């Protein structure tokens, strides 16, 4: 039930090409049957399209899991302190207790697979301009690639800090074959430049097939501006840019779902509030997310494994306001389910698990999950707008409207009459509760240096406030370590502080 992409290090970026069969037949329906060499490819529009198609499956890197319940998307949540792991993984336990090291395989997977995708994006940006094809289509293809390169660099720079910035294809005699690390501010400049290029490329406002859209570009760019306004850059002028970019997404193109179940079913993929997702399809690429997040060793679906690798803490679950629909049974969480094979019996878990990622189609079917993974959705754009505009102007009617639309859907009373500081914390809480376990919390800790103290529903200093598991974040854990294998291979790389 896992989809593992072949791994390559930065020192192996010579013409790395992924011609994976489509991750979604709606837009990745071509297979490459040729023997690729640089001289016989990028000759036709179809080849250019196929090459860009081959970059998209690299988005699966965060969901790559194993039999021990390890996956990068789980590692990100365990670092933020509001999840535990009931499975067999020693690495997950070490992450929870902040005693992991640079040989953790998840650190290497994200690094290598991200640079794999970047290598392909660099080659595409060099070669596609030379292909004879319709200018509108060519510009759109390049816009998709600019976004994808920015996407992977944005994750790399937040996770590892200074990372090698490589924007050209690499050959055996290239100085970038064994690169040095680049100052993180230059990496952010490149991410922003790429996203601005994508924004000007004529992409559609949305894309029901799951390709890069203008909405995805603008939401990611708003996130980048918000991040760079906080730690470590603290470029506070970017709050205004974040608000302006997020506001462009709030034009009605995307709409909030009326049912939280639509977040994780097959029918509503790439629709409604879902701005950008990693695509999965039975027979092409499957996703182990449900079996990773169901309760440990309890038969609640047709899966070969029930790994319990990411379970919300009781403290976090209890932090939702009374009456919050999201905390009610089979909304974002669930605590019981009919037994697979004998639905007359109900299995009681003993904890609250993530119904938010429960894929009913595969659980009640053949156990083959093709649930999409959501990277960006409308509530994040709404909350970015509210937070960023509050930093510039304090609470405004427009900012309240965005937060309160999310709260209204959750059956909560609207916010009003708050000071700037109170409104900031209210938005942060809403981010934690609405975007729970979507890989946002760890990055919020990085940019704010604050953690959500669920015991008293406030925010405390990240380096002196213990989480509900009694762990206080060490400053070294604001960044992941550069994978030890990369340092051993490339002597020009240095390690992050504390690792």
Q: Rounded to whole angstroms, how far apart are CA atoms 3 and 321?
A: 37
Q: Rounded to whole angstroms, how far apart are CA atoms 466 and 474?
A: 11
Q: Rounded to whole angstroms, how far apart are CA atoms 387 and 375?
A: 19
Asked if residue 396 lies in contact with residue 258, where contact means CB atoms within 8 angstroms, the answer is no
Asked whether residue 79 is domain-assigned, the answer is no
pLDDT given at position 26: 44
Instruction: State whether 370 and 283 are in the same domain.
Output: yes
The predicted-structure confidence for 474-495, as pLDDT tens digits, reads as follows: 999 999 999 999 999 999 999 9
Instruction: State whether 360 and 389 are in the same domain.
Output: no
Domain boundary among 357, 376, 395: 376
Asked if residue 356 lies in contact with residue 302, where contact means CB atoms within 8 angstroms, the answer is no
Asked whether residue 498 is domain-assigned, the answer is no
Which residue spans within 20-81 are E strands per DSSP? none
Q: Specify the CATH number for the domain of residue 422.
A: 1.25.40.900
Instruction: State whether 339 and 284 are in the same domain.
Output: yes
Instruction: State whether 367 and 416 are in the same domain.
Output: no
Q: Which residue has the tokens 């979604």?
A: 24
pLDDT given at position 29: 44
Asked whether residue 112 is domain-assigned, the answer is no
| Domain that includes residue 302, residue range | 277-376
**Four-residue CA torsion sign, 93, 338, 257, 314:** negative
Instruction: State whether 348 and 403 are in the same domain.
Output: no
Instruction: State whether 365 and 390 are in the same domain.
Output: no
The predicted-structure confidence for 72-111, as pLDDT tens digits, reads as follows: 999 999 999 999 998 678 899 999 999 999 998 899 999 9
The predicted-structure confidence for 279-299, as pLDDT tens digits, reads as follows: 999 999 999 999 999 999 999
Residues in the chain with pLDDT < 70? 1-39, 65, 67, 87
Instruction: State whether 403 and 369 are in the same domain.
Output: no
Instruction: State whether 403 and 366 are in the same domain.
Output: no
Peptide bond into 232 cis (omega under 30): yes
Asked whether residue 7 is domain-assigned, the answer is no
Number of domains comprising the chain: 2
Instruction: State whether 322 and 395 are in the same domain.
Output: no
Asked whether residue 73 is domain-assigned, the answer is no
Q: Rounded to whole angstroms, how far apart are CA atoms 315 and 331?
A: 18
Helices (H), 312-415: 314-317, 360-363, 378-393, 397-409
Instruction: State whether 371 and 382 are in the same domain.
Output: no
Residue 476's beta-bridge partner residues?
A: none
Domain boundary among 320, 344, 376: 376
Task: Flag whether the pTM goes above 0.85.
Answer: yes
Both tokens assigned to 290:
């449900």
Please give the full DSSP string across 411-443, using - where no structure is assigned: T-PPP-S--HHHHHHHHHHHHHHHSTTSS-HHH
Asked whether residue 368 is domain-assigned, the answer is yes
Instruction: State whether 371 and 415 are in the same domain.
Output: no
Asked whether residue 29 is domain-assigned, the answer is no
Domain boundary among 361, 376, 391: 376
Asked whether residue 404 is domain-assigned, the answer is yes
């Amino acid at each position: 039930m896992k989809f593992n992409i072949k791994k390559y290090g930065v020192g192996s970026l010579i013409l790395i090409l992924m011609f994976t069969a489509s991750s979604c037949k709606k837009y990745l329906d071509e297979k490459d049957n040729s023997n690729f060499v640089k001289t016989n490819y990028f000759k036709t529009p179809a080849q250019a399209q196929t090459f860009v198609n081959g970059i998209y499956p690299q988005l699966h890197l965060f969901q790559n899991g194993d039999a021990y319940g390890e996956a990068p998307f789980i590692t990100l949540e365990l670092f933020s302190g509001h999840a535990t792991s009931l499975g067999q993984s020693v690495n997950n336990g070490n992450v929870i207790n902040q005693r992991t090291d640079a040989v953790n395989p998840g650190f290497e997977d994200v690094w290598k697979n991200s640079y794999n995708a970047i290598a392909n994006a660099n080659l595409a940006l060099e070669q596609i301009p030379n292909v004879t094809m319709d200018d509108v289509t060519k510009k759109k293809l390049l816009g998709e690639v600019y976004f994808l390169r920015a996407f992977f660099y944005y994750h790399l720079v937040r996770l590892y800090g200074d990372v090698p910035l490589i924007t050209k294809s690499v050959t055996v005699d290239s100085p970038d074959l064994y690169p040095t690390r680049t100052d993180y501010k230059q990496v952010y400049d490149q991410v922003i430049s790429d996203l601005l290029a994508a924004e000007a490329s004529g992409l559609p406002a949305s894309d029901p097939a799951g390709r890069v859209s203008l909405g995805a570009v603008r939401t990611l760019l708003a996130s980048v501006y918000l991040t760079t306004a906080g730690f470590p850059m603290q470029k506070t002028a970017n709050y205004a840019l974040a608000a302006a970019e997020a506001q462009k997404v709030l034009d009605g193109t995307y709409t909030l779902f009326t049912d939280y179940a639509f977040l994780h079913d097959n029918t509503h993929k790439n629709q409604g509030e879902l701005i950008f997702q990693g695509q999965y399809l039975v027979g092409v690429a499957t996703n182990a997310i449900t079996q990773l997040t169901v309760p440990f060793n309890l038969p609640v679906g047709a899966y070969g494994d029930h790994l319990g690798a990411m379970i919300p803490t009781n403290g976090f679950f209890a932090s939702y306001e009374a009456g919050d629909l999201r905390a009610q049974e089979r909304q974002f969480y669930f605590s019981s389910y009919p037994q697979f094979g004998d639905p007359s019996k109900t299995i009681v878990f003993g904890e609250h698990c993530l119904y938010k990622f429960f894929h009913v189609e595969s659980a009640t079917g053949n156990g083959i999950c093709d649930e999409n993974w959501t990277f960006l959705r409308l509530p994040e754009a709404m909350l970015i707008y509210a937070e960023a505009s509050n930093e510039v102007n304090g609470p405004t009617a427009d900012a309240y409207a965005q937060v309160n639309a999310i709260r209204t859907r959750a059956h909560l009373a609207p916010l009003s009459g708050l000071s700037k500081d109170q409104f900031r914390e209210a938005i942060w809480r809403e981010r934690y509760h609405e975007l729970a376990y979507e890989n946002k919390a760890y990055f919020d800790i990085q940019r704010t240096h604050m953690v959500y103290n669920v015991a008293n529903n406030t925010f405390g200093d990240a380096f002196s406030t213990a989480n509900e598991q009694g762990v206080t974040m060490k400053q070294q854990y604001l960044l992941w370590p550069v994978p030890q294998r990369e340092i051993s291979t490339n002597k020009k790389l240095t390690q992050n502080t504390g690792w």
